[in-house]
Structure formats: C-alpha cells, structure tokens
Structure 1
Amino acid sequence: MDGYEAMQKAYQSILAHDFDQAIAWFKQAVKACPDNAEYHYRLSISCMRSSRLTEASIHARRAAELEPDDDTYRSHYERVRAREHVAQAQNYLEEGRDRAYFSILLLKQAVELDPLSTDAYLLLGMAYADVDDYRSALRAISEVLRLEPDHSLAIRLKQEYEQQLHQYTTSSTKFEKSEGK
C-alpha cells in the first residue's frame, strides 16, 4: 500500500472515531514515504490528540526538518513542545512546592512557544501562587482570561489570588510598621 492510500484509510478511521487505527494508518503512510513532511505532520496531530506527546514531538520535529520554511510545520512543532513542557511542569507541581520553580521555568518556555496556550498560563499562575508570588500569578491568570474570558477556574483563581495578595501586602505593611517602631 502506498502512502496516499494509507492516508485515506487514516482519514476514514478518524471519521469512524477510531483514533488508534488512524494513528496506525498514518504510521503506514510515514513508513511508505518517510520523507513526506505532510505525513509526519498528520501523524503528529493524531498522536497529540491522543496524548502521545513523545511520538507527536518526534513526527512534528521531522516534518519541520523536512520542510524548514513551512510555517505550519514549525508552529505545530512549537505547540507540541509547549504541551510537553506543560505536562512536565504539571508533574513537577504534583511532586510538591519545592519543584514549583522548575515548573515556572518550563511554563515560561511553554508560553513563549505557544502564546495561546491557556493551559500553560493557568498552570503558570498556579505555580507562581505556590511560591507566594501573587503578582506574577495574577498576570498569568489575567492572560488566561484575556484569551478565554469565561474560563471559570481562572475567574475563581483570580479572586483567590487577589485576596492572597491583599492579605500578603497588608501583613507585610503591618510587619514593616512594627519593625520601624
């Protein structure tokens, strides 16, 4: 079977909501035509949608290498890398507060790679809050709300972080006054 036929089978599988089978067909297309950037790109998209980020990254990178002047392939690879950073940052945050700084670094890279990633901004806000940097947390959450004004979790976190910042600045002011006496 040639690459074109395998691609057609992959699209049929997608229409039938059989995404694992679609990935298998996309892999067949890549195997038949390993230097076809479009095949790698389509496989990467399906892998990303199925949370197979490592595979998605490999094929997104390959598509971008095969067609370095193609903005679609390059920007897709950046989005995949951003998702990888978000996933890794989330793992760090689950390990505890002492890993929050690693998360912040990864999430800053993620938003540079994909400035439309509400997940990256949301997690960045949460990571900043974990280290009591509520001003930065609010900036990140505000970015989520700029991208998605009705994001319910971001709305709730914004209120929470505004309260935390107010409490922090109020207690800092009281401490500074008591130290000055």
Structure 2
Amino acid sequence: MKSEDYIQQAYRCILQNDFVEAIRLFEEAISLNPLDAEIYYKCSITYARNNRLVKGIEYAERALHLAPKKVVYQLYLQHLKAMYLVQESKKQMDQLQSTSVIDLYKAVSSLKEAIELDPLYGEAYVCLALAYSELNEHATAIATLKEALFLLPAEQGLDKLLEQLKTKFKDYMNDSIIE
C-alpha cells in the first residue's frame, strides 16, 4: 500500500471516532514517507483528539521542522502547547486543598504563557480567571473572565461564573472593610 492509502483509511477511522487505529495508520504512512510534513501534522491532530497532547506536540514539532515556513504548523503547535499548559494548570488547581499560593502563582504564570501562545484560546482565560479568584485577586479575575466571554460568547455558564466572581469580590471587599 502507498502512504495515501493509509491516510485514507485513517480518515475513515477518524469518522468512526477510532483514533487509536487512525494513529496506527498515520504511523504506517509516516514509515513509508518519513519526510512528508503533512502526514506528521495530520497524525499530530489525531493524537491531540485522542487526548495525547505530548505526542501531538512531538509530531507537530516534526511537521514544523520539515516545513518551517508553513505558518499553519506553527500556529497549531502553539495551540497544542497552550492546551498542554492549561491542562497541567487545571490538574494543579484541582488539587486546591494541597495547592499553595506559590503553586497558584505558577499556574497563573503557565496560563499567561498559554494565552501568549494562543490568544484566542478561551479556556485559558477561564482557568486564569479562576486562579486569580483563588488568589483573592478578584478584580483581575473578573477582567480576565470578561475577555473569555468576548472570545466565547455562546459558552454556557460563563455569565453565571462572572456573577459568582463579582459576588466573591464584593464579599472580599466587605470583609476587608470590616477588618
């Protein structure tokens, strides 16, 4: 079989949500045509869809290495790196009972980096807003969430989250005045 045949079979698998088999088929196509950046790129997308971001990043880097002037590869790699940073920050923040202020600031730093890599990645803004809120930086949290609302106007629940952050901010301000 030719690499194009493996790619066509991989697409059929993707349509059936069988990403594991699609990846295997892309890998076969790569073995037949190891200098084809487009196959690495397509395989990278499939790895990411299968929630294997590290492998997706690795293949996106290979695609970009093979075709350094292809802007779409650069943008996709930046998006994957942003996704990875958000994913790692979420894990850190999910362990909130054991998360120290230092860890929260590390998460903030990672989330800011994710936004620099992909300024249109709304989830990064939402996570950053939540991190700021945990640090009692409520005004910054609200401003950040408003940016997320601008990027994700139809996202369910963000308006409610904004109201919750505003309430936390008011409560924090009232507690500060009393002290």
TM over 0.5: same fold?
A: yes
CA–CA distance in 2 between the matches of 1:53 and 1:126?
23
Unaligned runs of 5+ in 1: 176-181
Q: Which residue of 1 aligns with 2:149?
A: 145
**1:174 Cα deviation from its structure 2 partner:** 4.2
CA–CA distance in 1 between the matches of 2:50 and 2:72?
20
Residues 27-176 of structure 1 mapped to structure 2, 5 A cutoff: 27-96=27-96, 97-98=99-100, 99-175=103-179
Stretches of 4+ moved more than 4 A in 1?
none
- Please report the RMSD computed on the Cα atoms of aligned residues, expressed in angstroms: 1.4
| Contact kept? 1:92, 1:102, Cα under 8 Å | no
- When structure 1 is superposed on structure 2, of 152-161 and 71-80 the one drifting more is 152-161
Q: Which residue of 2 aligns with 1:178?
A: none
**1:81 Cα deviation from its structure 2 partner:** 0.4
Query: What is the TM-score when the length of structure 1 is the normalising length?
Result: 0.90
Residues 9-28 of structure 1 mapped to structure 2, 5 A cutoff: 9-28=9-28
Question: Per-residue CA shift, 1:107-165, capped at 9, x if unaligned?
Answer: 10111111111211111111111111111111221111101223233211110111122
Aligned residues: 175
Query: What is the TM-score when the length of structure 2 is the normalising length?
Result: 0.91
Unaligned runs of 5+ in 2: none
**1:67 Cα deviation from its structure 2 partner:** 0.9
What letter is aligned with 1:113?
Answer: L
CA–CA distance in 2 between the matches of 1:24 and 1:105?
36
CA–CA distance in 1 between the matches of 2:69 and 2:21?
31
Higher helix proportion, which one? 1
**1:95 Cα deviation from its structure 2 partner:** 2.4
The structure with the largest alpha-carbon Rg is: 1
CA–CA distance in 2 between the matches of 1:171 and 1:130?
16
**1:57 Cα deviation from its structure 2 partner:** 0.5
Note if 1:3 corresponds to 2:3: yes
Identity %: 29
CA–CA distance in 1 between the matches of 2:2 and 2:154?
46
